[in-house]
């Protein structure tokens, strides 16, 4: 089976712009979670989608949003980019979205640089 894929792998944007990142989970997986990883904060939970519904959301401003499609592919959007949004954005998929009971399979991440 193909692993989790994320596109694009690298992105450079300027402040005030918006960005859309894409994640394709492992075939058959219905849950997709998004994380932001920075050297200072580690891996921070953004949100989790299951069957096209957002089930959980972390402590991020409303500029961060996401959605999931019927084929389980997911996108996240960041509007009005700030310098502090520069980070590695990781998505992870799991089969049934049962939290700690299941392995999370991570993609390689999208590295976003905001100038």
Out of 4, 19, 78, 87, the only residue in the binding site for another protein (CB under 8 A) is 4
CB-nearer residue toward another protein: 12 or 43: 43
Write down the least CB distance from residue 23 to another protein, Å.
11
Number of residues that bind another protein (CB under 8 A): 25
Judged by CB under 8 A, does residue 35 bind another protein?
Answer: yes
Judged by CB under 8 A, does residue 41 bind another protein?
Answer: yes
Cβ-Cβ contacts under 8 Å for 39 (sequence gap 6 or more): none
Judged by CB under 8 A, does residue 64 bind another protein?
Answer: no
Q: What is the 3-state secondary structure (H, E, C) of the chain?
A: CCCCEEECCEEEECCCCCEEEEEECCCCCCEEEEEEEECCCEEEEEEEEECCEEEEECCCCCCEEEEECCCCCEEEEECCCCHHHCEEEEEEEECCCCHHHCCCEECCCEEEEEC
Write down the least CB distance from residue 65 to another protein, Å.
17
Q: What residue ranges bind another protein (CB under 8 A)?
A: 4, 33, 35, 41-43, 45, 48, 50, 55-56, 90, 92, 97-101, 103-109
């Amino acid at each position: 089976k193909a692993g989790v894929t994320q596109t694009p792998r690298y992105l450079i944007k300027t402040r005030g712009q918006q960005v859309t990142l894409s994640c394709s989970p492992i075939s058959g997986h219905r849950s997709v979670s998004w994380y932001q990883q920075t050297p200072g904060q580690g891996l921070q939970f953004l949100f989790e989608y299951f069957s096209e519904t957002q089930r959980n959301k972390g402590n991020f401003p409303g500029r961060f949003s996401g959605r999931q499609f019927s084929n389980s592919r997911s996108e996240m959007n960041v509007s009005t980019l700030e310098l502090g949004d520069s980070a590695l954005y990781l998505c992870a998929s799991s089969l049934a979205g049962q939290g700690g009971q299941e392995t999370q399979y991570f993609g390689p991440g999208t590295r976003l640089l905001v100038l």
